[in-house]
Structure 1
């Protein structure tokens, strides 16, 4: 029953894995591969026994790709490409005039120009995604 788990070195994969959730999954598979009790594995990794069973099942069905989380694109930007260009142009115009604007001013511009309400923290994330700085 464990024979399909023997061909992979899960310990080595877990050491190289940067994603914490994936690392736990790989460690669980490594412990199963070592013949440890699934209840003990669940207790030591602080996950449910059913999660371990699911990961083993997913590995058997789909290989390593079935177990690991896939990268997610995240929520799409709520501004159209045209609005993003207008925002960048607004910031560039302010910088060209040597005006140092702040995040809340960008937030107000977005609200007034596009009728979209963003939290200030999202405004900063948006600017980072657009690779725009506020300083001159």
Structure 2
């Protein structure tokens, strides 16, 4: 690749990191030493060496950003499905009370052997498409018939 093509790539590239790599190659093809290029661009000589080596072995595609997969997930897809089913089952139970992050954390720890902090429980539930907004809990002994009968009683303090 000649200097004109590299200069055009430098000018047209939107991403700063990639533009810096192209600029380093442009200086390299112009005959500058790798140390001088590092000083001009205010980067380490090791970075310049890496960029030039990738260019010489893989061509211009060697300067592309590599895919960074990140940290692997602690729960598998099947475990996430089991977790979602547990939360949905517990939220629909008639026993009253609320399902708290502590309860979800204990379930994950007992079933899957993985420990999560409370903030990560909420993040995990959000990833599963579950909202943490809850309705007011019902007391297990609550009865609609008794409430209706109470409403029909005359108020003693009314004038």
TM range (shorter): 0.5 to 0.7
SS at match of 1:25: helix
CA RMSD of aligned residues (A): 3.5
Q: In structure 2, do the counterparts of structure 1 residues 86 and 68 end up closer, same or farther at CA, with 3 Å as the change threshold?
A: same
The alignment status of 1:91 with 2:82, answered yes or no, reads no
Gaps of 5+ in 2: 135-159
The alignment status of 1:108 with 2:102, answered yes or no, reads no
Query: 5 Å matches for 1:1-136?
Result: 4-6=1-3, 7-8=5-6, 9-14=8-13, 16-17=14-15, 21-32=17-28, 38-96=34-92, 101=99, 103-120=101-118, 122-136=120-134
CA shift for structure 1 position 48:
1.8
Contact kept? 1:42, 1:48, Cα under 8 Å: yes
SS at match of 2:46: helix
CA shift for structure 1 position 94:
4.5
Q: In structure 2, do the counterparts of structure 1 residues 10 and 25 end up closer, same or farther at CA, with 3 Å as the change threshold?
A: same
SS at match of 1:63: helix
Q: How many residues align?
A: 130
Q: In structure 2, do the counterparts of structure 1 residues 101 and 54 end up closer, same or farther at CA, with 3 Å as the change threshold?
A: same
CA distance in 2, matches of 1:59, 1:32: 11
Tell me the TM-score normalized by structure 2: 0.57
CA distance in 2, matches of 1:132, 1:23: 41
CA distance in 2, matches of 1:73, 1:124: 23
Q: In structure 2, do the counterparts of structure 1 residues 33 and 107 end up closer, same or farther at CA, with 3 Å as the change threshold?
A: farther
CA distance in 1, matches of 2:127, 2:23: 34
CA distance in 2, matches of 1:60, 1:121: 46
CA distance in 2, matches of 1:13, 1:123: 43
